[in-house]
Every structure is written in structure tokens, then in C-alpha cells.
Chain A
């Protein structure tokens, strides 16, 4: 049997029971400035530093089984993101949290976790919306005006093609009242996930373009993801409540 066949054999037939923990994590400061792949790698290495029984994929190039709910862009902090981690034996989530917090770099930490029953769908597929906090001087009145508009056109470049896209339908709700920080902050719920997703920087570009919000202030705007949600709006649920 050649290597390729052997690999296929191993992945399809050698089924191992997975014990999955869904871990909520947060990042700030220096760890906000890394991309999604680097974040995955940082998690992988941190778990390898713990003695937790991490499950690896079978085959010739075994990788740990980590599934992130929604990639985080460079420069975005988070208070509430999720990763599913597969173990080869059951591990209490409290132990995962404790161990991981000993071994993660300073600006990245886990908050809490739950055991995911077998047969539960992927955390990635569950995400339908995400909330973000935007912090920048005097941003509130500009965003209020943007939310009153029927459409918000932005320029999107994909596969070398430039298109005008209306992002207004992707903004689901204004959550600012729940997250009061005065005139210098807003909190919004955007559609998110693999099907439709609104990136916070795209929203900011619309606010500067159509409502003349100061570009420099927008460039300095601190963006924090404050939550991930599942379910069809308006019947949406915070992932942490599941």
C-alpha cells in the first residue's frame, strides 16, 4: 500500500471518539495584531505546552483538531470568541481553562467552557451574527445617521474586481444602549458567518465615506468583538448561553 492509500485508510477507518470542549476566549493588546492563522498556531502551541490529551487528526500530517467559530481580523480585540478543541479522553472544561490560562501568552486568555455533546454541529456553522464595539471620539452621532440610511454603499475588491455593495442589510441592530460609553462608543450587531459577513473595517469606511466622519479618527478606532450569536435574527441567542 502506498503512502497516500494508507493515509486515506487511516482517516476514514480509524475512527476515534472525540471529546470536544467549547472554550470561550478573549484577546487584547499585542495579541489583537495577529491574523487568524497565527492565532490558531498560538493556540495549538499553548495546548501542546499543557499536558492536556489533545486529539490529532489521523494520517501523515497529524494536526490538532481545533475549530474556531469566526476568524478575527488583524487589529480586532475580542471579549467573547469560541474555539472547539477535541481531546482523546474526557476533560472537565474547568481544567482546560485552568491549564490553558497558565500557558497562553499574556494578552490571550480563556474565559469559560462547556462540553459539547457528540453529534453537535460545528461551531463555525452555528454563527449567524456578531456584535462589535467601536471606540473613537464622537463616533456615536455619525453612526446614528448611518443607521438611519436606507442603504450604505461600500467599495469591495474581490478577485481583482471592484464592486459597490450595500452593507445596510447586514447591520442587524444597534446595541449601544446596552453598552453605554457616551458619545465615543457604539455597539452594533452584524450578520456574520460563512454565508454573509460584515467586517467592521468595511462599516467604518462607509461611515467616513458617507457621513464625513474623520478618517484619522476612524483609522484609530478600536474595534472589539463583544459576542457571537446563533439563530435567525431576531430570534438569536448568544453562543455563551448554549
Chain B
């Protein structure tokens, strides 16, 4: 690959930087950014290096990409290897995109300034489906052919990972290979192979792309889309996905890290010079979730639950606060309250940060007396809002989605919170959940009204005048996702959503209540992309050619544009949002996330009967995630 390449760093002109929003997006130079100076000197002197050059690409703007933990973890893991230099690249915003195109400046990585085409591996993290056209933007601006089939021996190997790659079919033709699951080990196995390829270029038998991909396909978790043929039935559904070469696995199982205490975690990380979306240092408490909410894709994809020990976290938290200088440390997980040693951990951190004016942020905390007390202790700032996610308005529907929270739970915790002086509450609901009726929608407003009433009851009981009550109600459209018990379910129509929204708007009219809703158009497109097949790649490329980028930004998104492109291709929104047969072969069936399709189908049937399924720690429901041989599935045995 890069034997012929020399080093052509991009330097943007002052006037170009001054012509765009937030020019620091394009300048790098942050504290903690890694410049491997010996590699850089080699590049400057000779135009080449034996070190594997990895461009970690985030297909959205810098402020969003730098807020992503996967980027920080893998940047650290890759750069810890003496054989790799990993750099970062982000999607240029439209203003810079125009400048790069007009002046024919290639998209470059921030550390060395090298155009993306000069790297050995260009790796994308795909965090949400609506970033797909930005992948194409980055590839094209980076000087790399969009499709795997069009790349030659001198082009970089283009790879992807992240949560949405469990169904990467709509973008499969754009990637040479895709990494399924947690990347810490897999990515180094890949760069080892890239190192071999690079060194072989100096010999009489240089490794070809095809040979590289064949060898990469034997790395567990690696999916090479071009090695699989997809055939379709007359009705447009998938008939089969079969390997087209010998020795290629017919099913790709995700990779996970079993021992999170042993895996490398960045305790030194980049501190940006400008404000980013999540501007704090992060501790990752655990992966996976014991809850099994049936609508939640992450809850199934990341099984089984694996925790870090409180000792490891305490050590990492203290190191992070010291090395970054951040005054806020965030705890990340799918459900903070389920962390076994939350109390010793937070006590330890509070003690360690005494006098530092560092606060802890604890998202997704269940509200009870313990957590209210904790919130009071950890936050140096004033009482912020409390967040609840009942997700549905009635107990019937909450049972259907297996959301283990009752109206009583919500009201009794709010009673405590209101007594404790909290007066701002955020409530999250979803519209369009399977089996939802008008009664369920009205149930949302009934619950909100009960909360409103409770506030004044508490005030009367205490005989105090309280602060102004602020209830924020937020609804989003439910998107039935792959690898959930609802993957067979249809998505509500745009009209149905609009009807439900206006019903709620009517019912929630009050000076204490603010109702906000998520954009409908983008959610409709998201279901197409998340449950889509390979035929959508052409649609995506056409949309990109029409200038559709930054689809996740409401004001950039063209719903009607995408619908007509879909129709031109002989496809339809209805096809992707429809109800699916129980025996239908899905475009993602050759990917195995541990949780088995039979279990998901069992869960679908329990949902239909309104039967709840207990969390993993209460009793095992045999989802299949025990196949990895660790985590919560084996906790009982160990103790």
C-alpha cells in the first residue's frame, strides 16, 4: 500500500481557517494528542515508514467525535503499540467541505496533516445510522475510492466498527472489512496483519489486498462483506447470505473483552482546546445491561454484563482527573444504578477529590433515597434536573416492553425528590411501541398530570412554598431495531406519529409542563438504514452525490429527497418499516451478537402476552450470551 506513497501534509491557509465556524476543529494541537515524532521525522525525511499508519475517522464534526469514548479508547490502544501511529480525522462541516472541494485540498488527519489516502488503514467508527453519507464524504475528500471493489493495491484498507455495524449491510460495499464487537484486541490483531503486509511490500512476494482480506477474515469478529453473496427472493426479502470463498465463516460472532480490569483504558487522554458536546473525563463502569428492556438494542448487543472492579475504577478515575485537569468526571454505563459497588466507588472518588472542586456526573441513575443522597454529595453545583425514562404511559405497555418500572416507583421516588427540594423533572417516553393504543398515549399525559399534582401535594404537606415546578416531557419515535425482540415489528407510519404527537400536545398544555418531541422524518429514515440491506448502498451513494450529508442534523436532512431516491431504486419506505414474518431471513442473520434469534423470538411472544422477563442477576433467561464464557452469566458459579 504505502510503499509508493510519500508524505504530503496539508496546511490550511489562515484565510480558510478564518472563513469557517470553529476553526479549531481543523487544527489539532491539543493536550494529549499523540505525535509519534520518530515516525514523523521518518516521513519528513523519506516519505515512508514501517509503522502502520491508522486514520481513526469519525463521520461527524469534531465536537461530536471527540465526545465519543470508543475513539478515545481505541486511539489509546493503537498508539500504545510501538508498531502503530493512530491519528484522528473528522467530517468537515459544510463550510470547510466547500473550501476543500473548491481548492482541491484533501481531507487530512489532525496529527500529521497527511491526507487520508496516505494511511495504511482508514477506520471509521459508526455510532449511528444517519452518519453513513458522511463516511462517503470523508472517503471522497480523503482521496479514496468509495467502494471496496474500486480500490487498488495503493489505496488504504477501509474498515469500520461501532454499534451499528451489527447490521452494516447498507454500507457493506464501502468497506473492505468490518469489525464486529469490542475492538481493543481485534484492532491490534488487524494492525499486526497490516504490519506484515507492509513489510512484505519490500520482498518479492508483497501481500495483495485479496490476500490481506483473506487472512483478516480468519481473525474472530472480522467480517469481509465482499466475501459474502446476498441473494433475494422475488418479494425483496433476503434468501441467503453465503460465503463465496472457501474457509470463510458462514456466521461472524462478535468479539468481547471478558476481563475489563485487565484491558487497557486511557487514563491519559486528549483534552480539547475548545468546548465539545460531552466536555468531561469518562470512567466506563461496565459493559452490557442486566435489564433486557425489549426496545433497547444496546441491552442485547452488549451482553453479557461485565463489570470493572471498584478498585480499578478508583485508580483510573483519580489518574484521569489528575492527567486531564477536567473538573467533571462522568460515569458511563447503560444503567449506573446496577453497578455492584457504586457506593464504595463514589465514596472513594469523593474523598480523593476533596478540595479539588471536581464533580461527578452519574447519568442513568435510578431515583431512590440512595441516589438522591448521592446526587447531593457528588455535585458541587446546584440541584439539577432529575431524569426518568418510563418510556410508556401505562403499566400494560411497560410490561410489553419489559421496562421494570411501575407508576408507584416513579411517584414514590418523586415524592422523595420533591421533599428534598428538587423541582425540575425530565420524563422520556417513546411513541409507536408495539401494541400501543390511544389509551397508552393518554396514559403518558395522565402520568405527567399525576406528577404535577404530587408536587403541590408535597408542598402542602410540608407547608412550604416551593420553587417553580418544571416538567419536561420528551417523546421520540420508536424505531424497531435489529437484535431486539421487536425486530419483527413494524414501525408506525409518519401520520400515526403526527396524530399521537398532537394528541399529547393538546393534553399536556400547562404552565408547568414543557413538551418536546424528536424529529419524525429522521426517525423514519433511521428505520430504513438500521434494518436495511445491501441494495441501499446505491441509494446512499446517489444521495451523497446530491449533496446529502449530515443527515443526523435535522436542518440538513431531506426526507422527500431520500424517499424519491428509494423509489427510483425500486424500493420503498414501507418495505423496510413493515412487519416481518417470524421465519424471515434478515440481512443481518449472519452476524452473531451472542444473544440468539430463538431467544428474541421467545421474548417477542412474551411481549405479546405482556409477560415480563427478570433481569439477568435475578434469573437467567438463556439468551445465549453465556457462549462467551464470562460475565454475569457465571457470577453465581463464582460466588
Contacts and interface: CB of A to CB of B under 8 A. Distances in A.
A38 B274 CA distance: 5
B322 interface: yes
A62 B382 CA distance: 11
Interface string A39-82: 00110111111000000100011100000000000110000000
A35 B274 CA distance: 8
B323 A49 contact: yes
Interface stretch (A102-110, A111-119, A170-178): A102-110
Given A3-B382, A104-B31, A45 B18 contact: no
B547 interface: no
A34 B326 contact: no
A contact patch SS? helix
Interface residues of A, number: 33
A219 B17 CA distance: 10
B15 A220 contact: yes
Contacts of B24: 30, 33-34, 38
B351 to A, nearest CB: 18
Given A42-B273, A60-B380, A33 B27 contact: yes
B13 A220 contact: yes
Contacts of A3: 382
Contacts of B28: 30
B206 interface: no
B327 A38 contact: no
B424 to A, nearest CB: 14
B543 interface: no
Contact of A34 (B273, B322, B324, B357): B273
A103 B17 CA distance: 26
Contact of B322 (A37, A49, A221): A49
A222 interface: yes
Contacts of A56: 357
Given A31-B273, A38-B273, A60 B29 contact: no
Contacts of B639: none
B30 interface: yes
Contacts of A74: 18, 23
8 contacts: A31-B273, A33-B23, A38-B274, A45-B271, A48-B356, A49-B322, A74-B18, A222-B14
Interface of A: 3, 29-31, 33-35, 37-38, 41-42, 44-49, 56, 60-62, 74-75, 103-107, 216, 219-222
User: What are the nearest 8 A-B pairs in CB distance?
Assistant: A30-B29, A45-B325, A48-B325, A30-B27, A219-B15, A49-B325, A33-B23, A105-B31
Given A38-B273, A220-B15, 8 more contacts: A30-B30, A33-B17, A38-B24, A45-B324, A61-B380, A61-B382, A74-B23, A219-B18
Interface of B: 13-15, 17-19, 23-24, 27-31, 271, 273-275, 322-327, 356-357, 380-382
